[in-house]
A and B are shown apart, each in its own frame.
Chain A
Amino acid sequence: MIGDLFSFLTSSIFEGFLTASMRLAIPIMLAAIGGIYNERAGISNIGMEGFMIVGSLTGFVVSYYSGSVWIGILAAIFLGILLGLIMGYFEITLKVNQVVFGISLNLFCVGLTSFLFRIIFGITSNSPRITPLPTIMIPILSKIPVIGPILFQQTALAYITYILVLITAIIMYRSAWGMNIIAAGENPEAAETMGVDVIRTRYYAIIISGVLCSIGGAFLSTASTGLFVQNMTAGRGYIALAILVIGRWDPFGVFIAALLFGAADALQLRTQLFNFDIPYQFLVMLPYILCMVVMIFFSKSSRAPAALGEPYDRGGKKSEI
């Protein structure tokens, strides 16, 4: 009995499922970790979807022409900074409605990437490809049943993601700057009185968020597939917003929640391969349904930063839509 279980847990099918779970979780995880910064600082980033798709295209195109995935990811980081600045200017300086701007920015970015892809590669039947990042097996650790395939049979970008989760936790809970971020998101007026530059803190937070979302998008094209497809983020930026709620704005909570979604995604992809009698449409729906259901369970008890979505004005004026 226990022997059967062990041989199942170490079978190649199950191990394939486990590695795929993390691979599919990473883009959402990166975006949601970025979301921790801006939402904790009291500013929402509905534009994650758009940031991700721009990151996907940038990472792909630059990798394609430079021949190096890492240069592609560097370019995606640069674009992430730029997008973060733009969003900061709109949401912090101009104080526009953050939901309205985020939704519009997403639509704009999807249009932009489709247009640019068409301009750069034309209409071709065989889509251009790059060699995706290789899997790096961590010696010894990758041999541990279950944990090994999930955590230690991944690409370098995934290992960097783990480190980013840890760094984020240290910044948020152990550093003075993290305290500033949380203060800016909970009570900006009080934070300002205590000498925190709320506006500057929020700008940094949204730029970090832009960078992480963009890397998350770049992961899709440069690490998991090696190609770019129009609209390839397929709502992952919005799922990342839900992951924030489910993970309660906590780096480890986000890690677990994103992994859960990666697992759901991997499960539906694998079930499609096995050709069961379930129409594929119902399988593809699964992650979206799961997102709704889990969010329903967590929304009531999970508390967003108090000043989230409230523009901050030093004069104390409220803005309008």
Chain B
Amino acid sequence: MFNKADNHNIELEFKKQRRAETLTAAGSSIGAVILALIIGAVIIRLLGVNPFDAYRALIDGAFGTKNSIAETLLRAVPLAITGIGITAAFRASIFNVGAEGQLYLGATSAVCVGLAFPTLHPAILLPLMAIAGMITGALWGGIAVLLKLKFNANEMINTIMMNYIAIYFVSWLVHGPIQQPGSPLGQTAGLSDNAILPIILKQTRLHIGFIITLLMVLLTGFLIYRTVWGYQIRVTGKNMFASQAAGIKVKWVFLSSMLFSGAMAGLAGFFEAAGIQHRMIENISSGYGYTAIVVALLGQLNPFGVLLAAILFGGLQIGASTMETAVGVPASAVTLIQYLIVILFIGRKAFSLIIQQMKKNRKVAA
């Protein structure tokens, strides 16, 4: 029906259209960020602080020096790595809200491996710890999907419940069986040098986990967009019944996407313990598992977008404390701005709806 030239033209059309779609999508994320920062500026003004001074301090704290850049990237690591895991699960319409608990348990088991074999060569020990963390995270997440498949139990509610269970369990562990002998704090003994992630930028804390994060982003992008598994995840998330009819093993897609998601959260836990704390502590994560959800959403459930969103949020969080000391705006204002970004992003359709309405009104008036 079509000759070759037509085919070529159609293909070009498609490409153009896809590029335009990506651009508008990216535009809506950026628009949400800008609007939230403007609202944030109004709030800061209401607190009696000049918003320009506040934001200058924020940017300075996040990107001003080599060390602050390293800290920003370091903060982006758990957000990005957990975020790409959540991306895979959400794409399959598995609502994993349990990354926080998966991260805690992953970190704990990685540290246990590290403490058990303190003299092993790092090239063997570190991968072992990472695998232990990933398996633990994956299993903890997997339980929620198994309960969904077997008993039709809502995985979102269960993953939340399992967060509380995991965090209290870890709290008991670090105050009990694996507590550092003689310490009153909720923490394990320190890891040996072999079990600590090497630094990649001198005089900073930036460790090799950042490189691995970049690789994992590439890998996840490849998995989602270029493999059969990724295709099945995307189709199942869009329409479960159609994908079932097409012969896709929907149950396996659900389970495997969650296993991947849990493994990423576990890996993030390993990075936090072996790269920053150098032991397991009671409050290893300040809500990374939850923030990663909004990072994943703002990144449009696209691994590369997630990475950018994670660096943005990392910068906001690191800059927030500088802002607090410099101009006295509480750091929690930034937490608020973060979540506002996502609410605005989700509600982006409102703007086109309002514009439509205005046009209609103008027509009526004319």
Q: Which chain A residues have a beta carbon within 8 Å of chain B's beta carbons? A: 46, 89-90, 93-97, 99-101, 103-105, 107-108, 111-112, 114-115, 118-119, 234-235, 238-239, 241-242, 245, 279, 281-282, 284-285, 288-289, 291-292, 295-297, 299-300, 320-321
Q: Interface on B for A, CB 8 Å cutoff?
A: 47, 90, 93, 95, 97, 147, 151-154, 156-158, 160-162, 164-165, 168-169, 171-172, 175-176, 237-238, 290-291, 293-294, 297, 330, 332-333, 335-336, 338-340, 342-343, 346-347, 349-350, 353
For the complex of A and B, the 8 pairs showing the least CB-CB separation, nearest first, are A108-B339, A281-B172, A281-B168, A299-B153, A111-B335, A115-B332, A288-B161, A288-B164
Tell whether, in the assembled complex, residue B339 and residue A111 are in contact, meaning their CB atoms are under 8 Å apart: yes
Docked CA distance A253–B169 (Å)? 31
Q: Report how far A111 CA is from B332 CA in the complex, Å.
A: 7
Q: Is the CB of B158 within 8 A of A295?
A: yes
Q: In the complex the two chains form, what is the Cα distance from A94 to B344 in whole Å?
A: 12
Which B residue sits closest to A302, measured CB to CB? B152
Residues of B within 8 A of A281 (CB): 168-169, 171-172, 175
Q: How far is the CB of A138 from chain B (nearest CB, A)?
A: 35
A residues near B238, Cβ cutoff 8 Å = 320-321
Contact of B152 among A94, A284, A288, A299 (CB under 8 A): A299
CB atoms of A241 and B349 under 8 A apart: no
Contact present for B97 and A103 (CB under 8 Å): yes
A93 to chain B, nearest CB (A): 8
Of the candidates B97, B169, B237, B346, the one whose C-beta lies within 8 Å of that of A90 is B346
Q: Which chain B residues lie closer than 8 Å to A239 at the CB level? A: 161
Chain A residues, CB < 8 A from B330: 115, 118-119
CA distance A241 to B151 in the complex (A): 16
Compute how far the CA of A95 lies from the CA of B95 in the bound complex, rounded to whole angstroms: 18
A103 touches B95 (CB 8 A): yes
Interface pair B297/A100, CB less than 8 Å apart = yes
Please determine whether B350 and A94 come into contact, CB atoms closer than 8 angstroms: yes
Note all chain A residues with C-beta closer than 8 A to B237. Answer: 321
Identity of the chain B residue whose Cβ is nearest the Cβ of A283 in the assembled complex: B168
CB distance from B161 to the nearest CB of A (A): 4
Q: A-B contact count, CB below 8 Å?
A: 124
Cα A295 to Cα B150 with chains together (Å): 12
Across the interface, which residues of A come within 8 angstroms of B172, CB to CB?
Answer: 279, 281-282
Contact A245 B154 (CB under 8 A): yes
**Contact between B161 and A104 (Cβ–Cβ < 8 Å)?**
no
**Neighbouring B residues of A295 by C-beta, 8 Å:** 153-154, 157-158
Contact check, B164 vs A235: say whether CB atoms are below 8 A apart: yes
Q: Which residues of B contact A285 (CB under 8 A)?
A: 164-165, 168-169
Please, how many angstroms separate the alpha-carbon atoms of A321 and B90 in the complex? 10
Best-surrounded residue of B93, B152, B237, B340 (most CB of chain A within 10 A): B152
User: B349 near A292 (CB under 8 angstroms)?
Assistant: no
> Distance (Å) between the CB of A232 and the closest chain B CB?
14
CA of A118 to CA of B47, assembled, Å? 12
Judge whether B153 and A282 touch: CB under 8 Å: no
Q: In the complex, A321→B25 CA distance in Å?
A: 13
Asked whether A99 lies within 8 Å of B161 as measured between CB atoms, the reply is no
Q: Is the CB of A238 within 8 A of B161?
A: yes
Measured CA separation A101–B175 after assembly (Å): 37
Chain A neighbourhood of B338, CB < 8 A: 111
* Nearest CB of B to A89, in Å: 8
> Does the CB pair A94–B353 fall under 8 Å?
yes
Q: Are A108 and B156 in contact (CB under 8 A)?
A: no
Q: How far is the CA of A94 from the CA of B293 in the complex (A)?
A: 21
Among candidates B153, B165, B294, B350, residue contacting A288 with C-beta atoms closer than 8 Å = B165
**Distance in angstroms between the alpha carbons of A95 and B291 in the assembled complex:** 23
Besides A288-B162, A291-B161, A321-B237, 16 other A-B contacts (C-beta < 8 A): A90-B346, A103-B156, A104-B346, A108-B339, A111-B339, A115-B332, A115-B336, A118-B332, A241-B157, A242-B154, A242-B161, A279-B172, A281-B169, A281-B172, A282-B172, A292-B162
Which of B157, B160, B165, B343 sits near A289, CB closer than 8 Å? Answer: B165
The CA-CA distance from A115 to B340 in the complex, in Å, is: 13
Q: Are A99 and B156 in contact (CB under 8 A)?
A: yes
Q: How far is the CA of A128 from the CA of B350 in the complex (A)?
A: 39
B110 CB to nearest chain A CB (Å): 21
Q: Which residues of A contact B171 (CB under 8 A)?
A: 281
A104 pairs with B168, CB closer than 8 A: no
Identify the closest chain A residue to B161 (Cβ): A288
Closest to B340 in A: A108
Q: How far is the CA of A295 from the CA of B165 in the complex (A)?
A: 16
Known: A96-B347, A104-B342, A105-B343. A292 touches B158 (CB 8 A): yes
A114 to B330, CA, bound (A): 10
Given the complex of chains A and B, what is the CA–CA distance between A118 and B328 in angstroms? Answer: 12
User: Which one of A97, A245, A292 lies within 8 Å of B161 (CB-CB)?
Assistant: A292
| A115 adjacent to B151 (CB under 8 Å) | no
Task: Name the residue on A nearest B301 (C-beta).
Answer: A321
Chain A residues with CB under 8 Å of B156's CB are 46, 99, 103
With contact pairs A282-B172, A288-B165 given, residues A238 and B339 touching in the complex (Cβ less than 8 Å): no
Per the bound structure, the CA–CA distance linking A321 and B297 in Å amounts to 11
Is the Cβ of A104 less than 8 Å from the Cβ of B151?
no
Inter-chain contacts of B160 with A (CB < 8 A):
235, 238
Which residues of chain B are near A89, meaning CB under 8 Å?
347, 350
Residues of B within 8 A of A300 (CB): 151-152
Per the bound structure, the CA–CA distance linking A245 and B353 in Å amounts to 35
Bound complex: CA A107 to CA B291 (Å): 8
Instruction: Give complex CA distance A241, B342 in Å.
Output: 23
Is the Cβ of B335 less than 8 Å from the Cβ of A114? Answer: yes
Q: Which of B95, B147, B168, B238 has the most CB of A within 10 A?
A: B168
> What CA separation (Å) do A52 and B169 show in the bound complex?
26
- With A103-B95, A112-B336 as known contacts, state yes or no: A119 contacts B47, CB within 8 Å: yes
